[in-house]
Amino acid sequence: MAPEKTDFLVIANRLPVDRRIGDDGEVSWRTSPGGLVTALEPVMKLQGGAWIGWHGAADEDLPEFEHDGLRLVPVPLTELEVEEYYEGFSNGTLWPLYHDVVVTPEYHREWWDAYVTVNRRFAEKAASLAAQGAVVWVQDYQLQLVPQMLRELRPDLLIGFFLHIPFPPTELFQQLPWRRQILEGLLGADLVGFQMPGGAQNFARLVRQRVGHRTVRDTVFLPDGRKVLARAYPISIDARGFEQLSRTPEVIARAQEIRDSLGNPRHVLIGIDRLDYTKGLPQRLRAFGELVRDGVIDVDEAVFVQVATPSRERVHQYRLLRDDINRLVGRINGDMGRIGQQPIQYLHASFPREEMAAMYRAADVMVVTPLRDGMNLVAKEYIATRWDDRGALVLSEFAGAAGELRQAFQVNPHDINGMKQALLEAMQAPPVDLRKRMRALRKQVMENDIERWATTFLAELAEARDTGPADGDD
């Protein structure tokens, strides 16, 4: 029987759940890592429709299935495609290139070929499932060729694209041997969304310079009469849902338990990140370690809990980072710890939402110091759980979230002395100052939640259809 067609489709590299096979051969499903899933899961629960994505394991072709009320359609990847498309071109080329080349991107022609092949597979799957005139929303850097491929297959569709990571400055993007193909891939969409206005501007400039299309402000005019919009939509979280979770008696009790097991220090600082070289983990741990070494912070008074969620573990740069962090934490704890009291509690593990909420509630200071980040939803989650207006956020100015979260203690993560200063300020600020900051941060996050983000994007996408083909006028 042919699969049922749908009026609304999301296409992302990953499904919201990953398929795990235990040592005993038992199959289970686990929430996939990362901000994209955090943001889109509630959107799909509201919208309905189907979600096309990879289910996290190689060499398995699974039929579509339902999970937690969502219709999920797996796209298979071979072991070699996982290596070349996912670990290679997506995470060894595009990821570092789009994050200010904080590590050196690698350019390999076979990785590019795999990227094209897999993008086509996603486009074909979407083309076969979309009803006439359906809305298709393509997500993130792994699938930048899909809009154009899909448009060729199905010109009747309304196609949106959203990039969850930064879109790089033009000087960096130009390094990419396949820069023109990527730009043309994105131009298959009716609306291309970015986290920040700067990303949309970089894109429009590159389209002018490299593809030669005319652009006026946020509109690209194509020779065939089509128009493409490039705009910013800062992504968010299900703020109310997260707050509610953090108010449950179980989470409140667990937060107290966490503080108790840390020895009830005066200050609990916390960092929760995917273990990624863009997140600035070594910098923040070094800053905290130096404060302890300098005697400014007493190990009996403050603990730094760093959770690092395992991520992309077969990619070389991620392995190097893991070793670096292990060494750094070992050195700081070895040099500065006492029996029963270690300055850094390091957990290399992923946790369910309930436990994350309890950790946020247990923390006096949340430390988010990426060297570059599209948005950073962990910072917003922390704020959503601070319904008593207590707590402080230390936030890198290089996270997209810094544009909205102005009342955080903002830092340059490359400036270790500046970070030491900001950590101290956040720990020592008078409660009235902290409350004032947190109230403003909460207003921002609670008002601009994921529902508003999705509604705005989809409404502007619908308007793109209403406008019809362009006549070329400004």
Residue in 140, 184, 273, 290 binding ligand F6P, rule: CB under 6 A: 140
Give the amino acid at 233: Y
Cβ proximity to ligand F6P: between 243 and 273 the closer is 273
Cβ proximity to ligand F6P: between 164 and 227 the closer is 164
Tell me how far apart the alpha carbons of residues 474 and 468 are, in angstroms, rounded to a whole number.
14
Which 156-195 residues touch ligand F6P, going by CB under 6 A?
Answer: 164-165
| Pick from 263, 4, 270: nearest CA to 131 | 4
> Least separation, in Å, of the C-beta of 261 and ligand F6P?
29
Q: 191 near 228, Cβ under 8 Å?
A: yes
Of 29-37, 123-131, 253-261, 357-365, the window that binds ligand F6P (rule: CB under 6 A) is: 29-37
> Least separation, in Å, of the C-beta of 227 and ligand F6P?
27
Tokens read off for 395: 């936030």
Of 27-35, 215-223, 258-266, 349-357, the window that binds ligand F6P (rule: CB under 6 A) is: 27-35
Cβ proximity to ligand F6P: between 6 and 144 the closer is 144
3-state SS of 395-434 is EECCEHHHHCCCCCEEECCCCHHHHHHHHHHHHHCCHHHH
Of 28-36, 251-259, 265-273, 348-356, the window that binds ligand F6P (rule: CB under 6 A) is: 28-36
Tell me how far apart the alpha carbons of residues 70 and 48 are, in angstroms, rounded to a whole number.
7
Cβ proximity to ligand F6P: between 18 and 64 the closer is 18
Residue 54 makes CB contacts below 8 A (sequence gap 6+) with: 13, 14, 15, 74, 75, 76, 77, 86
Cβ proximity to ligand F6P: between 6 and 311 the closer is 311
> Least separation, in Å, of the C-beta of 140 and ligand F6P?
4
> Least separation, in Å, of the C-beta of 336 and ligand F6P?
33
Cβ proximity to ligand F6P: between 221 and 398 the closer is 398
**Site mask, ligand F6P, residues 221-250, x = CB under 6 A?**
------------------------------
Cβ proximity to ligand F6P: between 11 and 206 the closer is 11
Cβ proximity to ligand F6P: between 312 and 380 the closer is 312
What's 469's DSSP letter? S
Cβ proximity to ligand F6P: between 288 and 398 the closer is 398
Give the DSSP letter string of 266-296.
SEEEEEEEES-TTS-HHHHHHHHHHHHHTTS
Cβ neighbour number for residue 132 with a 10 Å cutoff: 9
**Site mask, ligand F6P, residues 31-70, x = CB under 6 A?**
--xxxx----------------------------------
Q: 203 near 186, Cβ under 8 Å?
A: yes
Tokens read off for 389: 């207006």
The two beta strands, 65-67 and 70-74, are antiparallel
Residue in 14, 71, 227, 386 binding ligand F6P, rule: CB under 6 A: 14
**Site mask, ligand F6P, residues 267-306, x = CB under 6 A?**
----------------------------------------
379 three-state secondary structure: helix
> Least separation, in Å, of the C-beta of 463 and ligand F6P?
26
> Least separation, in Å, of the C-beta of 74 and ligand F6P?
14
Distances (CA, A) of 70 to 53, 74, 131: 12, 12, 18
Helix (H) or strand (E) holding 241: helix 239-246
Closest residue by beta carbon to ligand F6P: 34
Instruction: Tell how many helices (H) and how many strands (E) occur in the chain.
Output: 17, 18
Q: Please, what is the Cα angle at 379 between 369 and 140, to 5 degrees?
A: 85
In angstroms, how far apart are the furthest CA atoms of the chain?
Answer: 74
The verdict on 312 binding ligand F6P (CB under 6 A) reads: yes
> Least separation, in Å, of the C-beta of 171 and ligand F6P?
23
Q: How many residues bind ligand F6P (CB under 6 A)?
A: 11
Residue in 215, 246, 278, 311 binding ligand F6P, rule: CB under 6 A: 311
Residues at the interface with ligand F6P (CB under 6 A): 13-14, 33-36, 140, 164-165, 311-312
